Structure 1
Amino acid sequence: MQEAKEFPKMREIYGSLVFDQKAMKQRLPRDVYENLVGAIEGRQKLDSGIAGTVALAMKDWAVSKGASHWAHWFHPLTELTAEKHTAFVTADENGFPLESFRGEDLMQSEPDASSFPSGGTRSTFEARGYSAWDPTSPAFIIKSPKGGTLCIPSVFLAYDGTPLDLKTYLLRSMEAVESRALKMLKLFGNRGVRYVRATVGGEQEFFLLDRPRAQKRTDIRFCGRTLLGSPPPRDQKMEDHYFG
């Protein structure tokens, strides 16, 4: 009689190829972990001195998962993804292979920027491009039949700092939203807030009303929010949902 095949539980495989905060906490010294998490959450600047320790832990974790290469993974203006694969190997003075992944490798790489569009922001001969580690996104492994690749989410910049990718613009816009939101919250009296998380998809709408108009609404006066509004278009009521 053929034995029933056992499959791994979802909780055992979900996120198992992501170097998330759980994996960081297990493999990093406490002070390094706290500095890295603080930088991820925007509470402090990333200390470049911890790059070597993080790189070693990240490499050991990736190799334990079967990865043989690493790559800075970024989003050029082609609206696709790109990466430059490098093996976790170098040679010693006698030519023998050694596993290697330095802090410098983690922090920055130099793909050939001439292969990607620049939107006309630089001359053709200025082809240098630099990818830089973005610690706010966790590293992950893409598996392959021959092992796998440790993908390090990165931004992609020209030599003068001009963004050559899509993510840099996203990060800068999030920073701008956070800056304005913090200013607004402090104007409203919330002095203790330290950072704001900008998300996409909440679709929450806010409307500002003059006080005399708001006082005419019983629901606003008693509940602090609107409970009654205009009828839905075409008298659809609860039928106008995405899957309705």
Structure 2
Amino acid sequence: MPQYFSRLLAGPSSDERLQETDFWHDRELSLFSCPNDDAGQALTAIVFKISRNPKDLLTHLRRIYFCYDRRLSEQLYAALLDLVIVLDGKGNSISRRMIQASQSQLHGQQYQDLLKTKGPEPVGNRYSLFSKGMLGRRELVRSIQQTETQHDYLALANDFIEYSQLEQAMDVLETGINFHHDRPDLQMALLELYKSTKNRERFQINRQRFSDSGIVLDGEWLELANYFEGQAS
């Protein structure tokens, strides 16, 4: 098995790797009646799901892993680029982790282009869904804000929690709150993770960041702040 999870996730055991492989497998591919060894049809099915719902983050991650696992380097670059475009500057920790885990199968310039945070958008290839020439960034973001489903972030975070990947779960929830200012379920799930991991520093950083962004924070944020102050005294 490729050492993808050792780069992306924190030291899984052999049993956990088997579970994680199942996690990255998209069970809905069976609806397309494509055999397991037909990589082209399976990838087409994944890409089709993303084209219908660009903010389905779990399918984005499965697309990236699928391309990495089968050493489809150009398709992998396109999958990573599409994730970066969809996140639109948010969730940088998620996209950066995926890019770094995929470095061995990217050309040097591709890797650098994907990681850069300033300048023009990286050039896509024929496998890219959302790079320039297909949809402009503003048009894409406006479209996905109108059509997105709201359960993806919490479902993806719960998947990461199930496999004890708590840092990744916090990444997802923090990104979700950026997109969905009015979803208390995302805030509550994130606060529970901050408290259970005793991650006072991350809590303080993001509390300030959300406030500076104009996001209205539930009263539980103040309660957790007082909790951490009591723990420090």
Looking at secondary structure, tell me which structure has more helix per residue: 2
Bin the TM-score by the shorter chain.
under 0.3
TM-score, length-normalised on structure 1?
0.23
Bigger Cα Rg: 1
